[in-house]
Amino acid sequence: MAALYSPKRGTVLVADDDPVMRLLMLEMLAQVGLDAVEASDGRAAVASFRDNAPDLVLLDVDMPLLDGFSVCRAIRKLEGPSHVPVIMVTGGDDLEAVTQAYEAGATDFVSKPINWPILGHRVLYVLRASDAISRLRIADAHNRAVLAAIPDTFFRLSADGYYLDYEEGHEPSTDFASRECVGRHIRDVLPPQIAMRMLDQLSAVLHSASVHSVDYELTREGVSHHFEARLVGTASGEVLGLVRDISERKRAEEQIRKLAYCDSLTGIPNRQAFLETLENELERSRREQRKFAILFMDLDSFKRINDTLGHNVGDLLLQIVTERLRETIRPGDHLCSLARLGGDEFTILLPDIERVDDALAVAHRVKDAMRRPFNLDGHEIFVTASIGISLYPEDGEDCTSLLKFADTAMYHAKNCGKNNAKLYSSSLTMQIMSHIKLEVGLRKALQNNELYLLYQPQVDVPTTRIVGVEALIRWRHPEHGIIPPTEFIPLAEETGLIVPIGEWVLRTACHQACAWKRECERPIRMAVNLSARQFKDENLAQIVLAVLHDTGLDPSLLELELTEGTLMDNALATLATLEQLRGIGVFLSIDDFGTGYSSMSYLKRFDVRALKIDKSFISGLPQDSENAAITRAIIAMAHGLKMIVVAEGVETREQLDLLKHYGCDMAQGYLLGRPAPQDAISQMLACAGSSAAAV
Ligand SMILES: Nc1nc2c(ncn2[C@@H]2O[C@@H]3COP(=O)(O)O[C@H]4[C@@H](O)[C@H](n5cnc6c(=O)[nH]c(N)nc65)O[C@@H]4COP(=O)(O)O[C@H]3[C@H]2O)c(=O)[nH]1
């Protein structure tokens, strides 16, 4: 069985010279469960108090040797921090004795004649109250100790905002001295803005049980400090507050913010910071009905510099670019914010612009600043920039769209030949959307057998016999019908899809050339266009070799057509590739000759078999004497270099006659045969002598 809980039994010192009274008191105390020790005079009472440390003293006023008042005073002197309750027993209506008792330090009094049953309860009540008071004292001492241990400033405010109490914290920056606050209103102590926020929170905490905090900054003796006041309401309708100096934390936060919002390479705001500034600017411009512009800048050849000169030089370039951008936008544009979004992409936010021209003017200044040569680690580098501009509110109402549109305009600027600044327009998005759709379609075109080849005859001018064909690709789009190569080859180049597509063209064309050789029992040379991207593909020679091997076509029946631009792009690498192709035994010809560099000396180095004069020269013949002269000169020079000449775009009998007269070797054009499917070409080849149809 569990032991019964027995409350602590208190001990009462009963001091009375009357033995009957003592006996009655002892009896009464026993009734309410209390122990007692007795003293029959004043001195004995003081001695017993010292020896027994009672919890309560019942003290008669009239006693021999030392009266009750003196005993009470002696007890008060003896006792430590604990305050033992003393109940004095006074005569009937002796008011003076009561006053004297309180003055001597008595807790309570009872007057004679004593109501014994009530005295028991009275004693118990006083004991309980004294216990509560001593617990309160301990709690208070605890609280004081806690407050003394924490560095915070502590204060107490009345519900209407007056400081009732104020204890300065340990921090040297403690915001105010106690004497500046106690008895004064918060408004008279703190700056108006801060006081207002405090008062707001004051009423909030009085209506809720939660802790509210207010952050504020105060400048004391020229030094700024950040404080955090935590306020809590009490049951008595007051507010307790703790104020802490959080300057150190604020500094750390600021440091973290800097790291998170600052681009470490250039020291300017990063993407995150830019997006937040943009968000704020949008809010402000919306409120104040103002306009702003976003400039999105991208360097045109950054990747090349990074790849060729290394990342260190690339980084240095970005740092100098940042410096130049800073200088460029500084005069008069102090509100602009510059950021690096990543890589070589920079943005400039131009607030409060009045006209589009203001944004364009900054864009042109930026472009000019970038055009000055950069001296990087001993390398003199020339860089250009493409800039896209979007405007609020004209182009969009939200940050994401505005930034995207500036980016879109930047791409448009790049497509328009780089070193450009372009404004966004909604049609750009449409163009880009259809571009993306086309790209998605092109990715599937090969698997879905949507690509096919047409072949255009190439004839020997003196005899007009078909000696070769040029393979020309077409795309049968499921929705848009036939798409010409001029529309999708650049896209295939851009996306790299030209490599698999080009291989398919080569394979299909070589296959067909073999078939015609079998059918006609004479060789028909197959010309296939090679784009710059294919030419740069380091696997080109292997692909050509594999295709020739797989199809069984004699390499000398394959002619690869390249433009001058492709050849000139990287002369050294070109020579190596050409060497490999020559090693395989295929021929090379230069397409669209006359439209590019037209450098004969280079062509000699590259050992090409044929030059194809661009149709723009042929179309004006025979009337256009200038083009006639150029055509004649090209033919003569090509022959001088032992190259044969093919005229493209021959549409009339007169043109053919003139070309024959100039000694042109071969011709191709609508007059001699339009690009046609393999069956039609087979028929043409089968005709007697295989002369071109119309001639
Ligand atoms: N006005 C006029 N035009 C004539 C005449 N005779 C031929 N043409 C057109 O001129 C273009 C000649 O091809 P290109 O200069 O190599 O120019 C080609 C070539 O650069 C490219 N291309 C075509 N197929 C391929 C391919 O399989 N691979 C690569 N990389 N490019 C290709 O697309 C360009 C355009 O091809 P097409 O639209 O087929 O256009 C062809 C042809 O149809 C004529 O008498 N008058």
* Superfamily (CATH H level) for 446-690: EAL domain (3.20.20.450)
User: Average of pLDDT values for 481-490?
Assistant: 92
**Which CATH architecture describes the domain 11-144?**
3-Layer(aba) Sandwich (3.40)
Name the residue at shortest CA distance from atom 19 of ligand 1: 529
Asked if 319 and 266 touch (Cβ cutoff 8 Å), the reply is yes
How many angstroms separate the alpha carbon of residue 552 from the centre of ligand 1? Answer: 26
pLDDT band at 3 (very low <50, low <70, confident <90, very high): very low
How many angstroms separate the alpha carbon of residue 472 from the centre of ligand 1? Answer: 6
Instruction: Calculate the alpha carbon distances from 389 to 274, 277, 292, 298, 358 in Å.
Output: 16, 17, 10, 12, 11
Instruction: Give Cα 300 distance to the centre of its chain.
Output: 24
How many angstroms separate the alpha carbon of residue 680 from the centre of ligand 1? Answer: 18
Whether residue 333 is predicted with pLDDT greater than 60 in this model: the reply is no
684 or 180, higher pLDDT: 684
The pLDDT of residue 6: 37
Whether residue 395 is predicted with pLDDT greater than 90 in this model: the reply is yes
As a CATH number, domain 263-424 is: 3.30.70.270
pLDDT band at 145 (very low <50, low <70, confident <90, very high): confident
How many angstroms separate the alpha carbon of residue 89 from the centre of ligand 1? Answer: 128
Whether residue 507 is predicted with pLDDT greater than 70 in this model: the reply is yes
Please write the tens of the pLDDT for every residue from 202-227: 989 988 888 999 999 988 778 888 99
Instruction: Calculate the alpha carbon distances from 151 to 146, 219, 321 in Å.
Output: 10, 19, 49
* Residue 414: CB atoms within 10 Å: 18
What does the alpha-carbon distance between residue 662 and residue 33 come to, in Å, rounded to a whole number?
141
The pLDDT of residue 448: 93
Q: Is 694 helix (H, G, I), strand (E, B) or coil?
A: coil
Name the residue at shortest CA distance from atom 8 of ligand 1: 649
Name the residue at shortest CA distance from atom 43 of ligand 1: 675
Q: Nearest-CA neighbor of 323 among 340, 305, 341?
A: 340
Name the residue at shortest CA distance from atom 3 of ligand 1: 649
Residues with CB under 6 A from ligand 1: 456, 471-473, 484-486, 489, 502, 505, 529, 531, 561, 591-592, 615, 649-651, 668-670, 675
So where are the chain's domains? Answer: 11-144, 150-250, 263-424, 446-690
Please write the tens of the pLDDT for every residue from 585-642: 999 998 888 766 666 767 777 778 899 999 988 988 888 888 899 899 989 989 998 9
How many angstroms separate the alpha carbon of residue 485 from the centre of ligand 1? Answer: 7
The pLDDT of residue 2: 36
Name the residue at shortest CA distance from atom 10 of ligand 1: 649
Instruction: Calculate the alpha carbon distances from 540 to 289, 400, 556, 647 in Å.
Output: 59, 42, 17, 27
Name the residue at shortest CA distance from atom 4 of ligand 1: 649
* Pocket test residue of 529, 564, 611 for ligand 1, highest count of atoms within 8 A of CB: 529
What does the alpha-carbon distance between residue 604 and residue 208 come to, in Å, rounded to a whole number?
92
Atom of ligand 1 nearest to the CA of 671: 45
Name the residue at shortest CA distance from atom 13 of ligand 1: 472
Write down the residue that tokens 């802790």 correspond to: 211
What does the alpha-carbon distance between residue 459 and residue 59 come to, in Å, rounded to a whole number?
142
Chain-wide mean pLDDT for the chain? 88
Please write the tens of the pLDDT for every residue from 420-454: 899 998 888 887 788 888 888 998 998 899 999 99
Asked if 541 and 577 touch (Cβ cutoff 8 Å), the reply is yes
DSSP 176: -
Question: What is the end-to-end Cα distance of the chain in Å, rounded?
Answer: 128
Residues in the chain: 695
How many angstroms separate the alpha carbon of residue 473 from the centre of ligand 1? Answer: 8
* Pocket test residue of 442, 470, 472 for ligand 1, highest count of atoms within 8 A of CB: 472
What does the alpha-carbon distance between residue 495 and residue 443 come to, in Å, rounded to a whole number?
9
Atom of ligand 1 nearest to the CA of 592: 15
What does the alpha-carbon distance between residue 329 and residue 259 come to, in Å, rounded to a whole number?
24
How many angstroms separate the alpha carbon of residue 527 from the centre of ligand 1? Answer: 11
DSSP H helical ranges for 40-191: 42-52, 68-78, 95-103, 116-149, 178-181, 186-189
**Which CATH architecture describes the domain 150-250?**
2-Layer Sandwich (3.30)
